[in-house]
Amino acid sequence: MNTPASSLTIALTGQPNVGKSTVFNVLTGLNQYVSNWPGKTCEQRIGSLSYAGHEIQIVDLPGTYCLTANSIEEQIARDYIIQGQPDVVAAVVDAASLERNLYLLAELLSLPSPLVLGLNRLDLAEQQGMRVEAHVLEAALGIPVIAMVASKGQGVRELLDASVRVANNPLEYQPKRPEIRADHKAVLGDIQTLIAGYVPEPYPPDWVASKLLEGDEEIARMMQAAMNDSANKTETAAGWQAVHALLMEHEDAFLAVASGRYEWIGRMVRAAVARPKPGRVTVTDRIDHFATHPFWGLLILLAALGMLFWLTYAVGTPVQAWLETHIVQAGARWVSASLAGAPVWLVGLLAQGIIAGVGTVLTLLPILIIFFIGLGLLEDLGYMARAAYVMDRYMHPMGLHGKSFLALFLGFGCNVPAVMGTRIIESPKARLLTILIAPLAPCTARLSVLALLVPIFFGPSAWWVTLVLIALPLSVMMLLGKGLHELALGGEHHAFIMELPLYQFPNLTEIGKGVWQRTIDFLQGAGTIILVVSVLMWGLSHFPGGEIEDSYLAALGRGLAPLGSLMGLDWQMMVALLTSFVRKENTIPTLAVLYGAGQGGASLASVLSGIIPPAAAFAFLAVQVLFVPCVATVGTMVEETKSWRWTLLSVGLLLVISLSVGILIYQAGRLTGWGM
């Protein structure tokens, strides 16, 4: 008879960028489930495995520097450990930054769940000339300490063994915890006495007392409510007042708490870590001498991003073209041939609606995957933080920091990865602002429309007209970013404090898993929206007459003709603007069909240049570069912001701005006589 396996829950925690995700992936493989933490926008990863007769669930907590609930990630981590009560907490620390990493451990030791310590990245520590003795640290801490190089799979199983052992032998768990600095021990004791009996389950009373001294607002609110809700309100109200008075009298107590922890950490590190002699220049130092230089750093950044773009279009564009020709168009032809006797609308719906919609999503994949790989490589290498540092000073006028630049720059290739690239921005408001203005980056699709149309209308002046049309959305981006930052997002100034991690060789397996997950996220989220809207737009351009000239879309274009006349645009050009919502490149074939290009040997260039004056052309092109983003970008914005309201605000703003600029340009031309 088989003995039923017992179940264990292990919470994996650690500061950001310590290799925690690598440990999680090595342990769980593909047996992982990704969702959001309940009620939060932060990602939750849970994996499972069978090991040593146990069914083990591994919960990957968000990376946090401490447990003070200043951010959603810190709140999630501590709430899960306290209320979720995992059997074991496995804390992963970076051996090359042990002193900083042990601060989180110092806090974790105050919580009830038993701990094991994964001492990761020992190889990086060795590169820095450091020697960290895991067994010495284990003796000093009183908890299991496992030496690991998770990127090479070393020590991960041992971490699991230690976790199972600790979970099965709770009485053997005898950690050595840090204490508050001596001059504040009495105050801590007074707080513990005052709150005794009122601390709600399952919070540890000693931990709550320490948090009150640290000035933790959430814990203070919890205790005030708990003490005020108690039966004897007179006694407890006085009790909370006494607590509050004590805390106000010792406002600097948080320094004593932190000092006590750092004194404890200092003892641990002195015992277990042998450092190199001062003055040693590491590999990171040598690279950063150039990578963070205001001039050389900028050149290196532009070279890195230029290489990323080159790779994307050298590899991605041919794959895109192949997919378009051999999958999308071939699929549409096959459907048309197979359904030869079927109603025209059905064939159109399948071939030009659904297959075209799927094709839009499919042909984006090569570009997205290469961008994701490139971003993953730069991030894993440790370079992304340097790029954000170099660009930080240029982003301040928009109320943003350097990481936003990386996302916005991607928009020059395609706005979809630009929006998805904002995931590297920690601040929710900065991320939202970057998403809202990212569609103003002139993507290659818009640039291809400019490349075709500008020479038609402006001949030898095409080069400076193109420069102006590229500078225009960038200028609007800065102004809109500044305006949204001040008016809609509270004008908050976010402190720029960012760790510069050590450089390391990228882990290709981890990057591959990240690319896979991001691609699946895109297909499941934005991909669905793109498909639905594409089918809808096909319907508008097909019904009722079967041709675009007598479709609902054309009727809409004719209805918008009075608005278009303010910009010198006829209904055909308004329809071309509307079809650019599906794909920016649609502008060209729409103009060709509606103006009858190709009939009687007349090219699109000759037809357009004979009909549209330069002022109207300039207005049209200005509207093009500022117009609402394509459906793929809108779908991605909805998915990344989790908000139709903010997405529609961005779309609405761009609609108003683009049309206003178009009207201004044409009316200025009319008044001055230029281009008429």
Q: Binding string to other proteins for residues 294 to 323, with x set by CB under 8 A, is what?
A: x-----------------------------
Q: How far is the CB of 144 from other proteins (least distance, A)?
A: 23
Counting other chains too, the contacts that 632-635 makes at CB distance below 8 Å and 24 or more residues apart are 632/360, 632/361, 632/364, 632/415, 632/416, 632/526, 632/530, 632/583, 633/415, 633/416, 633/419, 633/438, 633/439, 634/529, 634/533, 635/525, 635/526, 635/527, 635/528, 635/529, 635/530, 635/533
Contact between 264 and other proteins per CB under 8 A: no
- The candidate with the shortest Cα–Cα distance to 115, out of 182, 51, 171, 162, is 162
Q: Cα–Cα distance between 369 and 414 in angstroms, integer?
A: 12
- The candidate with the shortest Cα–Cα distance to 78, out of 38, 107, 58, 48, is 107
Give 20 or 401: the residue with its C-beta nearer to other proteins. 401
Q: How far is the CB of 494 from other proteins (least distance, A)?
A: 9
Neighbours of 349 (CB within 10 A): 17
Q: How far is the CB of 15 from other proteins (least distance, A)?
A: 10
Give residue 601's region: left, alpha or beta (phi > 0; psi -120 to 50): left
Contact between 96 and other proteins per CB under 8 A: yes
Give 296 or 644: the residue with its C-beta nearer to other proteins. 296
Structure tokens at 85: 């009560």
Task: For residue 268, give every residue at least 6 positions away whose Cβ sits within 8 Å of its Cβ, in sequence order, or none.
Answer: 102, 137, 140, 141
- The candidate with the shortest Cα–Cα distance to 9, out of 92, 108, 113, 110, is 113
- The candidate with the shortest Cα–Cα distance to 412, out of 448, 386, 380, 378, is 448
Q: How far is the CB of 535 from other proteins (least distance, A)?
A: 47
Contacting other proteins (CB under 8 A), which of 499, 505, 509, 648? 499
Contact between 385 and other proteins per CB under 8 A: yes
Q: Cα–Cα distance between 61 and 158 in angstroms, integer?
A: 20
Give 125 or 530: the residue with its C-beta nearer to other proteins. 125
Using an 8 Å Cβ cutoff, are 146 and 162 in contact?
A: yes
Contacting other proteins (CB under 8 A), which of 79, 288, 570, 585? 288
| Binding span for other proteins by CB under 8 A among 93-101, 137-145, 462-470, 598-606 | 93-101
Give 389 or 581: the residue with its C-beta nearer to other proteins. 389
Contacting other proteins (CB under 8 A), which of 1, 231, 340, 497? 497
**Which residue has tokens 């919470």?**
11
Contacting other proteins (CB under 8 A), which of 287, 500, 592, 649? 500
Contact between 284 and other proteins per CB under 8 A: yes
Q: How far is the CB of 265 from other proteins (least distance, A)?
A: 9
- The candidate with the shortest Cα–Cα distance to 507, out of 396, 380, 391, 609, is 380
| Binding span for other proteins by CB under 8 A among 78-86, 143-151, 406-414, 496-504 | 496-504
Query: Which of the 8 DSSP states describes residue 129?
Result: T
Structure tokens at 246: 């004590």
Give 265 or 416: the residue with its C-beta nearer to other proteins. 265
Q: How far is the CB of 263 from other proteins (least distance, A)?
A: 10
Contacting other proteins (CB under 8 A), which of 25, 97, 404, 650? 97
Q: How far is the CB of 284 from other proteins (least distance, A)?
A: 8
Q: Cα–Cα distance between 494 and 542 in angstroms, integer?
A: 49
Number of chain residues interacting with other proteins (CB under 8 A): 22
| Binding span for other proteins by CB under 8 A among 381-389, 416-424, 514-522, 559-567 | 381-389
**Which residue has tokens 């950044």?**
301
Task: For residue 192, give every residue at least 6 positions away whose Cβ sits within 8 Å of its Cβ, in sequence order, or none.
Answer: 205, 206, 209
Q: How far is the CB of 375 from other proteins (least distance, A)?
A: 19
Contact between 277 and other proteins per CB under 8 A: no
Query: Which of the 8 DSSP states describes residue 280?
Result: P
Restricted to residues 589-608, the positions that interact with other proteins (CB under 8 A) are: none
Q: How far is the CB of 397 from other proteins (least distance, A)?
A: 13
Contacting other proteins (CB under 8 A), which of 5, 99, 189, 334? 99
Contact between 292 and other proteins per CB under 8 A: yes
Contact between 393 and other proteins per CB under 8 A: yes
Contact between 98 and other proteins per CB under 8 A: yes
Contacting other proteins (CB under 8 A), which of 16, 100, 176, 455? 100
Neighbours of 609 (CB within 10 A): 17
| Binding span for other proteins by CB under 8 A among 154-162, 243-251, 382-390, 467-475 | 382-390
Q: Cα–Cα distance between 409 and 308 in angstroms, integer?
A: 11
Q: How far is the CB of 239 from other proteins (least distance, A)?
A: 36
Q: How far is the CB of 404 from other proteins (least distance, A)?
A: 14
Q: Cα–Cα distance between 55 and 4 in angstroms, integer?
A: 10
Give 87 or 107: the residue with its C-beta nearer to other proteins. 107
Q: How far is the CB of 392 from other proteins (least distance, A)?
A: 5
Q: How far is the CB of 97 from other proteins (least distance, A)?
A: 5
Instruction: Give 480: exposed, middle or buried? Use CB within 10 Å, 0-12, 13-18, 19+.
Output: buried
Contact between 389 and other proteins per CB under 8 A: yes
Radius of gyration of the chain (CA): 30
Q: Binding string to other proteins for residues 440 to 479, with x set by CB under 8 A, is what?
A: ----------------------------------------
58: three-class secondary structure by DSSP? strand
Q: Cα–Cα distance between 360 and 338 in angstroms, integer?
A: 22
Give 33 or 290: the residue with its C-beta nearer to other proteins. 290
Binding site for other proteins (CB under 8 A): 96-100, 284, 288, 292, 294, 385, 388-389, 392-393, 401, 493, 495-500
